[in-house]
Amino acid sequence: MLKQNSELRAEARVALTDKWVMGAVTTLVFGAVSGAASYIPVVGTILVALPMMYGYSIVMLSVMRGGEMNIGGLFDGFSDFGRIVGTKLLQVIYTFLWTLLLVIPGIIKNYSYAMTDFILKDQPELANNAAIEKSMAMMDGNKMKLFLLDLSFIGWAILCLFTFGIGFLFLQPYVQSAHAAFYEDLKAQTVVEEEVIIEA
């Protein structure tokens, strides 16, 4: 059984102990670089923002695993550029195409693909559709759980509005770390289920 949202948030807070300031700085650097790249339409997003999005996810995954808040990790996506960007680009395209049908299907698919970055990190042999399909399999029956986890941060998001946006520099690492905790929990659950199937 997957952990409760309160447990996942608690794990994220523990992982971020003494790292909140560096988390805010990392978020600021991520936003600044990605934002600057967005001024170059399409090309900037593909060449810079997509690998940076991957890097941000992996930095927070590392923190959840007891690592340091390494700002340099934001640029890890550039070291395996073709695999990371190719997969992320497909993810964006698929989400966009589903959104063309209606907004709700696009949101659902976005949650289906939510574990893709983590999978790319842990399974370097996977790329493109293989990584996305792995995420879809992991999220089958779990999309609502992740949605509710995100929804549980709504109160903090409202409070951040009264800080002229500064609060979001601290909220974003919190949310992303909770996503990483969700992935770790989901991965462990998947392994247990696979072992049960093999034993059966």
Tens digits of residue pLDDT in 47-100: 999 999 999 999 999 999 999 999 999 999 999 999 999 999 999 999 999 999
For the whole model, what pTM was predicted? 0.92
Q: Could you identify the residue written with the tokens 């996506």?
A: 77
pLDDT, tens only, 152-198: 999 999 999 999 889 999 999 999 999 999 999 999 987 656 555 55
Task: Give Cα separations from 99 to 18, 94, 107, 109, 121 (angstroms).
Answer: 39, 9, 7, 9, 27
Q: Could you identify the residue written with the tokens 């300031």?
A: 21
Nearest to 181 by CA among 118, 112, 136, 87: 118
Phi and psi angles of residue 145, each rounded to the nearest 5 degrees, phi first = -65, -40
Q: What amino acid is encoded at 59 in this protein?
A: V
- For residue 97, the 8-state DSSP code is H
When pLDDT is cut at 50, 70 and 90, the band that residue 101 belongs to is confident
SS3 70: coil
